[in-house]
Structure 1
Amino acid sequence: MSLYSRDGSSAKIGAPSVDPLQDTIYDFPRDVVGFGRKSHNPQWPNGAKIAVSFVINYEEGSERSVTNGDAQSENRLWEQADNKPALNGERSLNPESDYDYGSRVGVWRLLNCFEKYGMPVTAYAIGQAFEKNLEVANAFGKNGHEVASHGYRWVNYVGMGIELEKEYIERQLESLKKTTGKYPVGWYYGAISAHSKALIHEIYEKKGIPLLYESDTYSDDLPYWADVPAEKELKNPKGMLMIPYSYDCNDVKFHAASGFSTASGFEEYLKTAFDVLYAEGQEGMPKMMTIGLHCRISGKPGRFAAVENFVKYISSKPNVWVTTRKDIATHYHEKFPYRKGHLV
């Protein structure tokens, strides 16, 4: 039986999956049930009622540009992205300089704030961007911060060939090892391909590098384990810990038509989300909250005020664990080691 979906195409009822990757090593099954109504108690350290993860996306200098060998120059996620098409075969100077604000000014404003309040953050670091600003790479390696992988280039990996994507993954690992002295133990793409999770797992295993977590998921308020299809026949599979990221508590919505238009709106949303999750923790079911930030967005003075006000707000609350995603992953590996077929 067929219906018509909203875009006019045929939508079927009761039809089998037509996913070409079904039952392959790339087929990470979808789970619409999760932990269920009773949720799951993560038993955060020291009785914390909530774990808060601040993520600073560091992408500036790695966006699409003819100077990076690309056919087009970037037109996404900057102050006038809605009405400025991407330029073909030439530099797009206005977006370019807006990105530069993030690496020249915004990143320091954000880092200074978090370090002032003693809060460690996770950097979603693009390898090429770190290569172009070693002072930033060095700063994220100090004061308890974590450097996680955001890919070697800030580009769309959807549809990329498998071998090329492998090259990007290996290049990213060696790049961050060179600029930070360490391989990243966590990974987040954003523009993920259907092959990405399996390829990340494959490369880490080949190199013997520990992959503590992957964050290309938005499906929960808590970390959970996923079975890795490539480990199906292994006697001692390791699984993949998924630590959900967030697009709702994220400053990218300043550049979305349905998103935030004022800093006060962003601040109110963050505080409200925190209050709900904090209350659930006080009732016996602690959660985690992720706040996604970008240097060229929240690093701007008018928006930065919302970030700092929120930081002050949660600083006044007891039993709040502000931590890195690496430390959240370490907690789960120790407290809830992987069991095949189980979320925890």
Structure 2
Amino acid sequence: MAPQFLNNQDDFGSGPSRDYVGYGEHPPEFSWPGGASVAMNIVVNYEEGSEYSLPMGDGRNDMLGEVNRPLDPSIRDLAMESMYEYGSRVGVWREMGIFAEAGINCTFFACAVAIERNPEVGRRLIEEGHEICSHGYRWVEHYAMTRDEERESIRLAVESFEKTCGERPVGWYCRYGPSVHTRELVVEEGGFLYDGDSYNDELPYYVDVGGTSHLVVPYALDLNDVRFVMPQGYSSGEDFFSDGKAAVDRLRHEAERSGVARMLSVGTHPRLIGRPARADALARLIDYAQGTGDVWFARRDEIARFWLSEFPSG
């Protein structure tokens, strides 16, 4: 039987189609502001207090902490709760201290309820020039919601951030991936410049959402401190630093060879990277990247605005 050749997209009739090609061999040639060849975006996933827990009425405990163990969902996991509390009590302040010392700004993938529980974090991140990107009203799976539930969750998140931080987010990023409705609802809401609900590229790109051109600033999970608590992950801060240094070196080399600037996402969580030895690795990675003289430390909204200006859709 002769092979069946398909085009580059699959259309499943519900939600976005798949694109296997993207920029391919010919991404646009450009440099970031200041002539930088790499835009490094450090993300702080600030979720503490919005995660699944019995006190929140969820009937389950979250498990992404230092020790992941299945506990009877009818029993409060006080150890896990305290691991999350470390992030808001200690870790986030250590991270912000590192950023202030380095003179850089980052993006906070923040859950609205987490900021409600510790509003000083919201005030300080805005005062210090960081970006607040909505990570949802709570740290929950949007793909498990109905369309109406998801619309309401997005509305609640925006409204909450406006109250706690004095400004609304212009970026959106779900926990563990979006639903088939998320991008449509983000565009429908009307105030978002971009979403980060994709892992398929290393440069921003546009998608058509119901006739509207919408910008995606993709994220990545490889250089992410969650690997400190995963079986296949980092055994020490040195692993995190080494991975980050190699990524910076490779992207700078590719940019020099091709004339195409690159983007690097670094994912952190205060309850994980906020521990002293790991935080030291983050500080050393920032110092190394700054020492190249070729890396632009950028918020995701800055990357989005640059792309919208330099490469307008249509």
Q: Please say whether Structure 1 and Structure 2 have the same fold, judged by a TM-score greater than 0.5.
A: yes
Tell me, in whole angstroms, the C-alpha distance in 2 between the residues paired with 1:184 and 1:280: 33
Give the CA deviation at 1:90: 3.4
Secondary structure at the aligned position of 2:264 is classed as strand
Question: 2:181 is matched by which residue type in structure 1?
Answer: H
What does residue 97 of structure 1 align with?
Answer: 82
User: How far apart in 2 are the matches of 1:318 and 1:15?
Assistant: 46
Q: Cα RMSD between the aligned structures?
A: 2.1
Hey, what does 2:66 align to over in structure 1? 79
1:260-299 equivalences under 5 Å are 260-283=234-257, 284-299=259-274
Matches within 5 A, 1:175-214: 175-191=160-176, 192-202=178-188, 204-205=189-190, 209=191, 211-214=192-195
Aligned to 1:224: 205
The 2-side partners of 1:303 and 1:135 are apart by 24
Tell me the distance in 1 between the aligned counterparts of 2:50 and 2:238: 30
Q: Partner of 2:74: helix, strand, or coil?
A: coil
Q: Distance in 1 between matches of 2:30 and 2:83?
A: 40
Distance change >3 Å, CA 78–CA 33, structure 1 → 2? same
Consecutive unaligned residues of structure 1, counting only runs of 5 or more, are 2-12, 232-236, 340-344
Return the TM-score normalized by structure 2.
0.94
Number of residue-to-residue matches in the alignment: 310
**In structure 2, how many angstroms separate the alpha carbons of the residues matched to 1:22 and 1:266?**
38
Deviation at 1:194, TM superposition (A): 2.1
Contact 2:39–2:263 (8 Å) recurs in 1: yes
- Counterpart of 1:40 in structure 2 is 28
* 5+ residue gaps, structure 2: none
Structure with the largest fraction of helix: 2
What amino acid maps onto 2:54 in structure 1? V
Q: State the shift of 1:304 in Å.
A: 1.0
Give how far 1:87 is off. 3.5
Contact 2:16 2:180 in 1 (8 A): no
**Cα deviations by residue, 1:126-153 (Å, 9 ceiling, x for unpaired):** 0000000011011111222110100011
Shift of 1:303: 1.1
- Matched AA of 2:12: Q
In the alignment, residue 201 of structure 1 is paired with which amino acid?
V
Q: Deviations over 1:205-259 (max 9, x none)?
A: 3xxx2x111101111111111111x22xxxxx3x111111110011111121111
Secondary structure of 1:35's partner?
coil
Residue 162 of structure 1: CA displacement? 1.2
What is the identity, as a one-letter code, of the residue corresponding to 1:79?
A: E
Aligned partners of 1:42 and 1:287 also within 8 Å? no
Cα displacement (A) at 1:318: 1.2
Measured in 2, the distance between the counterparts of 1:263 and 1:14 equals 48
| TM-score between the two structures when normalised by the length of structure 1 | 0.86
User: Is 1:326 matched up with 2:301?
Assistant: yes
What is the CA-CA distance between 1:15 and the residue it aligns to? 11
**Structure-to-structure mapping, 1:128-143, within 5 angstroms:** 128-143=113-128
Identity %: 39
